[in-house]
Amino acid sequence: MIVRRKEHWFRMLFVWHGSVLPRLLPRLSLLFILSVVVVYFHGSIFSFKIPLNPAPFTLFGFVLALFLGFRNNASYDRFWEGRKLWGALLNIARSMTRQALTLINPKANESEITEFIQLLSAFTYALKHQLRGTDAGEDLAQKLSREQLEIVAPAQYKPTILMKLLARWVEEAKNSGRIDSIQQARFDENLDRLADVVGGCERIVSTPIPYSYSVLLHRTVYIYCFLLPFGLVDSLGWVTPLMVVFIAYTFVAFEAIADEIEEPFGMDDNDLALTNMCQMIEATISELAGKPIQITEATKQRIID
């Protein structure tokens, strides 16, 4: 995800990295070439004049903009729901760490607290990799013991197995008499909230926006853009290619942005910075336990997740 300070309005006009323009250049170039050809032949194909004028494009463009707005709203709702779920995960991790530090009686030894924090941290990284479909082996190997890794590594749903290990840690604390049933129930409430976060993220990943709707909008946008030069050539002449590219950039870019943020847990420039979020959760729960981890300046200033 791009994390950038607010730029000056003039510099924003030339921002390249993080915009969808690099992906759109081939398509916009094709439209520019088509527009030049249309102007050269005065809007005719094999001596047949295409009878189009700007009026229907004005009306249809307004309707198309409404549909694109709805598509972007639907995609942003998915993006924002994903962000809220990971914000909830941060709060839950802090609450569970606080409980582990303050509810255990007598106070747990340092190795037990470290084990709990490592399990909780491993959970966040495992969830990130599950949502992205990437290998979690390297991250988990740094945070889990050999025995724990042997349990988690073969699992398809690693976050769920890690929740089981967290629950087992709480159960052992209960069996040893260091927490009572009420305190165990408090831990279980947060474990249930962790399960809700996992389920919410999986719902977003497994339920995309209906494909037929995306195809319909995609076809409509490009048919509109390819017919646009024929409607503008008589009134704009050689200015037509520039206007077509500008109008097409607006419509095509809206569609591209919607496609990008529809899956908020991916690795595109404008997707959620899950790696940075995992590092922040790890840092804050370690600091609660009096063991702050070092995050390099390069990591803080990184603009791509």
Instruction: Tell me the per-residue pLDDT of 210-226, one tens digit each, with 9 for 90 and over.
Output: 888 888 888 999 999 99
Q: Within a 10 A sphere around the Cβ of 34, how many other Cβ atoms?
A: 17
* Mean per-residue pLDDT over the chain, rounded: 86
Q: Are 229 and 238 in contact (CB under 8 A)?
A: no
Residue 76 pLDDT: 93
| pLDDT interval class at 304 (50, 70, 90) | very low
| pLDDT interval class at 296 (50, 70, 90) | very low
Q: Which residue in the block uniquely carries the two structure tokens 């908020």?
A: 264
Q: Can you tell me the distance from the alpha carbon of 254 to that of 76, in angstroms, rounded to the nearest whole number?
A: 12
The fraction of the chain above a pLDDT of 70, given in percent, is 89
Residue 209 vs residue 85, higher pLDDT: 85
Of the candidate ranges 128-137, 184-193, 251-260, the one whose mean pLDDT is the lowest = 251-260
What Rg value do the Cα atoms of the chain yield, rounded?
Answer: 27
pLDDT over 90 (residue 117): yes
Arithmetic mean of pLDDT, 228-255: 90
Q: Are 152 and 166 in contact (CB under 8 A)?
A: no
| pLDDT interval class at 10 (50, 70, 90) | low
Closest-CA residue to 185 (of 194, 172, 174): 174
pTM for the model: 0.85
Arithmetic mean of pLDDT, 280-293: 87
Give 250's Cβ-side CA count (13 Å radius).
11
Residue 211 pLDDT: 86
Residue 20 pLDDT: 79
Q: Are 245 and 30 in contact (CB under 8 A)?
A: no
| pLDDT interval class at 302 (50, 70, 90) | very low
Query: Considering Cα of 94, then 95, then 98, then 100, what sign does the dihedral take?
Result: negative
* Residue 29 CB burial class (10 angstroms; 0-12, 13-18, ≥19): exposed
Q: Give, in order, the Cα–Cα distances in Å from 263 to each of 172, 207, 267.
A: 39, 10, 9
Q: Which residue in the block uniquely carries the two structure tokens 């509810």?
A: 103
| pLDDT interval class at 303 (50, 70, 90) | very low
Instruction: Tell me the per-residue pLDDT of 128-180, one tens digit each, with 9 for 90 and over.
Output: 999 999 999 999 999 999 999 999 999 999 999 999 999 999 999 999 888 88
Residue 3 pLDDT: 55
Residue 60 pLDDT: 85
Residue 107 pLDDT: 61
Residue 295 pLDDT: 55
